[in-house]
Chains A and B, each alone.
Chain A
Amino acid sequence: MEAVLRSVVTSPGVIGGMIADDSGQVLVRSMPELYDTAQLARLGTLLMEQGLGLEEATGGVRQSEIRFELGKLITRAAGARSLVLLCEPGVNLQVLSIALNVASKKLEKLPMTQPVVPAAAQEPAKPAPKRQDDGIPAAYRSAMRIYR
């Protein structure tokens, strides 16, 4: 699996990548060291939830490309796993798509392995807040016009 990831993170414009399973757990990582395993675990969970949230609208997400000011995050589904790539903003997606096609095919054929990040490490670092019945500042509440 490391070899599959390496084959795609060496593509031009790719900063790093990881492979996650269908529950969002990180199986293999080749991300910049500034991101710790807990951050990548949360990223895996967010991407997994996004896929679930948009499943009905898309018939199942095959690939997502989220553009940010400083980079692009590309996720390609590969069977029960996903390839996640962090790329430079100007990455050539046509060239990268070829590498992703090859890598995802290889990944689909590989047997499942245990996550590289233990389940406990995937929990949010901060403790769950206590329940409260009030506490939103009035100014915040009036500003919170999510609903018309």
Chain B
Amino acid sequence: MNVAVSQNVGFDGEVSGMNLPDLLQIKAMGRFSGRVAVERGGKTGYLFFRDGDLVHAQLDAAEGKEAFARILAWGGGTFRAEPKVGTTRVTIHEGLQFLLLDALRLQDELSAGLQNGQGDRGAAVQVKKEGGMKDRLVGIAGLQEAVLTDRNGAVLQAMGRDPEGVAAQGMYLVSTAAKITDELGLGSFKGAVVQGNTGHLVTLEGAKNFLFLTVQGEAKPAVVEAEVRRALAGQG
């Protein structure tokens, strides 16, 4: 990362009790130059401003709009404004408002898809008892983590070490699926299975929730998904 420290006037420190879009808009209106560091679940994303314009975002190896979308999809975190940290990188060319509205549009599309799909209970995830998810899922072979979130990705129940991280990955997949159906007209999102070399990610869609599962690399995600559905339906 190409980062420079300059002598800007202003405060730096941590902000809490405010959502990220609001904070970013305040920074834009104040013609902020510097870096906003967002921390969540042991990860840190960076948003760089120059004279109030968001010019660069970085999260691990991801940059630009992709990094911005992933940071937004975290659904929460700790923010730290660092006015003395700048960058020469420019990976974002859209205005902040456009990026935020685009995120809102995705939220609206997801909500619309939800309403259309509410009658499709056969394919939906149904957790019958609020407190019972962990008890029902523990012991399923190959299942590493299970995270139940609301439609915005806020964690409601979790089993595993990094629920926020799993929720962020899952919501990133959900947002990509929303863009795909926007292009292809395939209707509402119903779930996804992503098979990787070292692990798998399964997303199940319910009327009001998402259930995100991480599965060990050597396990078959379809088998784990079937076991989870059976357990949550109370048949296992």
Given A136-B97, A144-B21: A70 and B107 interface contact (C-beta under 8 Å):
no
Within 8 A of B (CB), among A80-131: 86, 93, 128-131
Task: Tell me whether A79 is interfacial, beta carbon within 8 Å.
Answer: no
Number of interface residues of B (CB under 8 A): 70
Within 8 A of B (CB), among A52-99: 52-71, 73, 86, 93
CA distance A43 to B154 in the complex (A): 28
A141 with B22: CB separation less than 8 A: yes
The answer to whether A58 and B53 touch across the interface, beta carbons within 8 angstroms, is no
Q: Which residues on B sit within 8 Å (CB–CB) of A61?
A: 194-196
- How many A-B pairs have beta carbons closer than 8 Å: the answer is 175
Q: Which of A39, A47, A64 is most buried by chain B, counting CB atoms within 10 A of its CB?
A: A64
A10 in contact (CB, < 8 A): no
B76 touches A148 (CB 8 A): yes
Give the Cβ gap from A60 to chain B, nearest Cβ, in Å.
5
* Alpha-carbon separation in the docked complex, A63 to B195 (Å): 5
Whether the pair A147, B201 counts as a contact (CB closer than 8 A) is no
Distance of B169 from chain A, by nearest CB (Å) = 5
Q: Which residues of B contact A (CB under 8 A)?
A: 18-22, 25, 28-29, 52-53, 60-62, 66, 70, 72-77, 93-98, 100-101, 103-104, 107, 113, 116-117, 120, 152-154, 165, 169, 172-173, 176-177, 179-181, 183-201, 214, 217, 222
- Subset of 11 A-B contacts with CB under 8 Å: A35-B184, A46-B183, A50-B176, A63-B195, A66-B173, A71-B187, A136-B25, A144-B100, A147-B19, A147-B22, A147-B74
